Amino acid sequence: MNPRNDFLITICARGGSKGVKNKNIRPLLGKPLIAYTIEQALSWGRAERVVVSTDSPEIAEVAKRYGAEVPFLRPAELATDHAGKLAALKHAFLASEKLFDKSYGFLVDLDATAPVRTRDDLDRCLEDFLAYDPPTLFSVVPARKSPYFNMVEVSSEGRVGICKRLESGVLRRQDAPAVYEMNASIYFYRRDYLLAPGTVSPICETSRLHIMDARTSLDIDTEWDFRYIEFLLKEGLVCL
């Protein structure tokens, strides 16, 4: 397998974002947010093509200006508030294969809203994915809270309890099993898993995890997130 020619990079950027208006093309230090991920994917130089999946002509024009390919617009039914991302990825993958007359072995999906991943993260993900050939690999960050120790849930009867109870109990967070948050940054999908009829999530029992630190796991979902990462960048506390 030649990894440079055997995979496609996608960047999904739906129009009409609710938490932060027009967040995918909102200027971050003078450049549209999506541009950072596009430029990183292109400069990485490991994939033949970088394709943006969007339903928005405006986002499409911005993406093309920064070097991505936007050979199609995402169908409206795959761009609603209730549409799952996997359906959009499957569409982008199959449409790209048809347009480019090429079969890809796997897909790498990079979130436009997580601009501070590093090239080293991408390199290590690719190395791990090629070495172990899992159905999926995705990036995570060690969780700050633990369902075994300091996360609670309320039952339908109104009873409060720890989310995941161990028979022995957990008296210190350090003694709890390690848990991770998906940080919405990097996803690798093997072709057969992505296109399987029952696939609705990147999570499966044999997935591989790429653990990132909190500094490179910043994801923009709210106005506060946007302003926070803008502040960190201006202060030089994180780098793009």
State whether residue 48 is helix, strand or coil. coil
- CATH 3.90.550.10 segments of the chain: 7-142+180-234
pLDDT of residue 1: 56
Instruction: Work out the angle at residue 146's Cα, subtended by the Cα atoms of residues 144 and 151, and round it to the nearest 5 degrees.
Output: 110
User: Is 194:107 a contact under the CB 8 Å cutoff?
Assistant: yes
Buried b (16+ CB within 10 A) or exposed e, 72-93: bebeeebbeeebebebbbbbbb
Please provide the CATH number assigned to the domain covering 7-142+180-234. Answer: 3.90.550.10
Average pLDDT by stretches of 10, the chain with 240 residues: 79 89 95 98 95 98 98 93 92 97 97 96 97 98 92 95 85 85 98 96 98 95 96 92
pLDDT of residue 5: 63
pLDDT of residue 122: 98
Instruction: Work out the angle at residue 48's Cα, subtended by the Cα atoms of residues 217 and 206, and round it to the nearest 5 degrees.
Output: 50
pTM above 0.85, yes or no: yes
pLDDT of residue 163: 92
